Structure 1
């Protein structure tokens, strides 16, 4: 891990060769380019999409995990297998499936036409990207939440109810704080791969939406600007490290 990171870090302070590659002349130009509004806009859009995906995954994943944790033991296994079942299929196949679902003559628009609501343009939008990321990483939200909720002592919620607390108050003051480590872990598991993903934006977002993962990929493989690609990758790593530190701090406080 350290050797690739060291190579990445060292490349950020050199110039791009005329025909690609690296020219070992010291420069700070790559970091100055990083502050260009064009690239900052890509990073901000990536943060928005990853944050929205994480929030929706949490809103769907928490009640799902709660229901699974309250199922009889024999049905818990069935439900958990159903949650991880998509991982048994190739990632690209799942992405291509969403193209077929969200395209103009796809299943989604066909269903909307039945109710007189369609067709709508979903494919090659940020909404399609969020949908693809959500479908891909929702299990990574459900599983940590299920582990946290399943360990919760039911006597605590019973005691809260016996003391006169409403269901919402019990959830807000007992259940949610005690399951906060699962919330933080699941959110991190969804946000990190969503932020750096480039396959889903490429296939479902088209050329209209570019995320930081696509930008890094293009710098290395298309523009052949390895120093600037390394600088972008370093910025991505810094953001993720900050998130890890924040998650650790909040987990200790919780």
Structure 2
């Protein structure tokens, strides 16, 4: 029987997959999203920057004049530097707490939950079914001086009878950690879920201990989820003001509280300058963090 052997060299000819024609359809699909971003992001940002350059001598009744008063920025930073630093510090501590609490949780759901995986994921996102304000008020009652949790802690031998948790930095950071913990767990879980379990089996076959296999395989492959989760936690936490308002005291006020009060008082130039300063600070910190993290993939 004769066999027909394929020739090794054939004319390449035209490509198998035709190049997609560039038409107006793609641009039309971009228009709704571009319009939405321009209307609700670019325009408010430009307006905020313009407001930060108003003459501070104006008032809410008489109005403000655009004078390009750049001095609003150093004045606002000098007056509220303590609150800016406190906000960044609280956000950083809350982010570290989310890593410590959220990584074991996401790891357990991704690798150990089995058929309970869906139930645990629902439990993670269940707090979103209630208002952010309601969740924070729940912590206000939990950490109250006369509540059972504080009474139990006072009963322990290594704590004093004058222990207080509410209106302290601990209560503010605890509230921030609780409210933003799901924002860390969910992207980290998505990153862990994509890890090929055969890589862990290969590490075990090469005599790597479970700890070494985690440090050499699981942790590096999950870094995109860690980076995404920390960004989703740190950025909103730095600008949060609800937790400091309901769980803190005048000594724990964050920059968001000052911005809110300045807007209510009608001091729009200072409030806008403080908002822009906070936004620029966060953007710079995030850019440095992503650059140092050395990952191009965030999800």
Q: Give the structure-2-normalised TM-score.
A: 0.79
Aligned 8 A contact 1:196 1:212 in 2: yes
- Give 1:44 deviation, angstroms: 1.0
Q: 30, 34, 55: which is aligned to 1:15?
A: 55
Alignment coverage as a number of residue pairs: 252
Compare 61-70 and 207-216 and name the one that shifted more. Answer: 207-216
Q: 257, 270, 274: which is aligned to 1:228?
A: 270
Q: Tell which structure's C-alpha radius of gyration is larger.
A: 2
Do the aligned partners of residues 35 and 197 (structure 1) sit closer, same or farther apart at CA in structure 2, a change above 3 Å counting? closer
**Which position in structure 1 is the counterpart of 2:4?**
none
Structure (1/2) with the larger helix percentage: 1
Give the Cα separation in 1 of the matches to 2:253 and 2:55.
24
- Give 1:19 deviation, angstroms: 3.3
Gaps of 5+ in 1: none
Which structure is richer in relative contact order (CA contacts within 8 A, separation 6 or more)? Answer: 1
- Give 1:138 deviation, angstroms: 0.6
Q: Secondary structure at the match of 1:43?
A: helix
Q: Secondary structure at the match of 1:70?
A: helix
Aligned 8 A contact 2:56 2:72 in 1: no
**Which position in structure 2 is the counterpart of 1:109?**
150
Q: 228, 242, 245: which is aligned to 1:185?
A: 228
Q: CA RMSD in A?
A: 1.9
Give the Cα separation in 1 of the matches to 2:51 and 2:130.
37
**Which position in structure 1 is the counterpart of 2:296?**
252
Alignment of 1:89-238 (within 5 A): 89-116=130-157, 117=159, 118-222=161-265, 224-238=266-280
Compare 9-18 and 130-139 and name the one that shifted more. Answer: 9-18
Aligned 8 A contact 1:112 1:119 in 2: no
**Which position in structure 2 is the counterpart of 1:81?**
122
Q: Secondary structure at the match of 1:24?
A: coil
- Give 1:61 deviation, angstroms: 0.4
**Which position in structure 2 is the counterpart of 1:239?**
281
Q: Secondary structure at the match of 2:166?
A: coil
Gaps of 5+ in 2: 1-40
Give the Cα separation in 2 of the matches to 1:95 and 1:219.
23
Aligned 8 A contact 2:125 2:182 in 1: yes
Aligned 8 A contact 1:16 1:227 in 2: yes
Give the Cα separation in 2 of the matches to 1:162 and 1:83.
34
Q: Give the structure-1-normalised TM-score.
A: 0.92
2:112 matched to 1:71? yes
Give the Cα separation in 1 of the matches to 2:217 and 2:83.
39
Q: 56, 64, 72: which is aligned to 1:30?
A: 72
After superposition, what is the alpha-carbon deviation per residue over 1:203-228, rounded to whole angstroms, capped at 9, x for unaligned?
A: 10122211111111111112x21111
- Give 1:107 deviation, angstroms: 2.4
Give the Cα separation in 2 of the matches to 1:34 and 1:43.
10
After superposition, what is the alpha-carbon deviation per residue over 1:50-73, rounded to whole angstroms, capped at 9, x for unaligned?
A: 000000100110011000112354
Give the Cα separation in 2 of the matches to 1:172 and 1:213.
38
Aligned 8 A contact 2:99 2:184 in 1: yes
